[in-house]
């Protein structure tokens, strides 16, 4: 990545090093191929559906926290506490949530389904896919920005959408849902791993060699297992909640995630830089690419738990993941 030369526009400075499209696909193809492999394995029953929660548990409670801890511990604490990154991302997420709810809410789709549709339109797969993919494209120094995004989405965006999903139940339902969402954040190991990594970075702490090697082995397993699990989760969601549905109920939200979200981040981020907000052009590049990721696959599990139409949510995630191979690669090529 390069900083913006003097006199150039912020958006122009937020560019990737020049790469031919072939070299971009060499990076992106294996990531999406592993997702496709997991999807095919579950659809063909080579991977029993009963085994998917075990894979998901390994990634969520062991491999991904280890990876996030390592990146957090090796990232300067100032990057992990970048208020400009958090503010721009949160503003864009709120705008996408509001627009998605406005587009979806109607006679057939009430608050529960509209809120979870908005969540998949605003919540990228930054943990399971974004961290390893953006690290492969831009280097480990870019991951600190992605970690800020993960925290904002887990703590604020998801909590807000869960609260919105309970509006049909009245004010008390929304308040109870918000409390439940915040308790869920506390039970999620990823924020704790990020926090411990940030503490290690701030204090200059290092793990004892045997423990550091163990964490490294788990972290190295995170990327392939997480990507394979994404595909398996998508296949299971589609198989278990498959019913006829008009394309207008899910395709527009998938396109909102892949096209509108990154464009909104780019435009608002560039405007923020012009207004003097201390947002680095390189950080804006990372934010745009993170927004261009497909929808987070774990939202389908959350939607099922909250009684939303999981078939609709699974379709949005599946369409966004399938199209993201082309749209994300195009975004990388465009930003170069």
Q: Nearest Cα to 79, choosing from 213, 256, 202?
A: 202
Summarize pLDDT for 283-324 with one digit per residue, the tens: 999 999 999 999 998 887 788 777 788 888 888 999 999 999
51/274 Cα distance (integer angstroms) = 50
Overall average pLDDT of the 1-25 stretch: 49
The reported pLDDT for the residue numbered 15 is: 47
pLDDT value, residue 143: 92
pLDDT in tens, 245-271: 778 888 999 999 999 999 999 999 999
pLDDT over threshold 70, residue 5: no
Instruction: Count CA within 13 A, CB hemisphere, residue 28.
Output: 24
Domain 23-335: top CATH class: mainly alpha
- Distance (Å, rounded) from C-alpha 121 to C-alpha 15? 24
Answer yes or no: is pLDDT of 159 > 60: yes
**How far apart, in whole angstroms, are the C-alpha atoms of residue 210 and residue 90?**
39
Q: Has residue 185 got a pLDDT over 80?
A: no
Exposure class string for 6-16: b at 16+ Cβ within 10 A, else e: eeeebbebbbb
């Amino acid at each position: 990545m390069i900083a913006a030369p003097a006199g150039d526009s912020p958006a122009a400075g937020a560019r990737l090093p020049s790469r031919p499209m072939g070299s971009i696909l060499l990076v992106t193809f294996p990531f999406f191929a592993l997702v496709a492999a997991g999807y095919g394995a579950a659809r063909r029953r080579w991977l029993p559906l009963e085994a998917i929660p075990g894979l998901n548990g390994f990634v969520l409670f062991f491999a991904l926290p280890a990876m996030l801890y390592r990146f957090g511990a090796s990232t300067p604490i100032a990057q992990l506490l970048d208020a400009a990154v958090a503010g721009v991302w949160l503003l864009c997420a709120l705008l996408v949530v509001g627009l998605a709810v406005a587009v979806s809410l109607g006679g057939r789709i009430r608050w529960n389904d509209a809120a979870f549709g908005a969540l998949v339109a605003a919540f990228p797969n930054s943990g399971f896919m974004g961290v390893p993919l953006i690290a492969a494209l831009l280097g480990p120094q870019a991951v600190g920005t992605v970690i800020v995004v993960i925290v904002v989405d887990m703590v604020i965006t998801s909590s807000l959408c869960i609260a919105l999903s309970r509006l049909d139940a009245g004010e008390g339902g929304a308040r109870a849902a918000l409390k439940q969402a915040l308790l869920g954040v506390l039970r999620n190991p990823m924020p704790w791993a990020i926090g411990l990594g940030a503490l290690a970075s701030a204090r200059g702490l290092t793990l004892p060699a045997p423990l550091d090697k163990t964490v490294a082995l788990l972290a190295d397993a995170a990327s392939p297992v997480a990507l394979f699990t994404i595909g398996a989760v998508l296949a299971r969601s589609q198989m278990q909640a498959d019913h006829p549905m008009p394309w207008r109920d899910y395709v527009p939200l998938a396109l909102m995630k892949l096209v509108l979200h990154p464009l909104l981040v780019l435009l608002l981020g560039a405007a923020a830089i012009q207004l003097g907000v201390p947002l680095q052009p390189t950080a804006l590049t990372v934010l745009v690419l993170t927004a261009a990721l497909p929808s987070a696959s774990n939202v389908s599990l959350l939607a099922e738990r909250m009684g939303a139409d999981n078939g609709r949510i699974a379709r949005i995630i599946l369409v966004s993941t399938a199209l993201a191979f082309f749209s994300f690669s195009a975004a990388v090529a465009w930003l170069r």
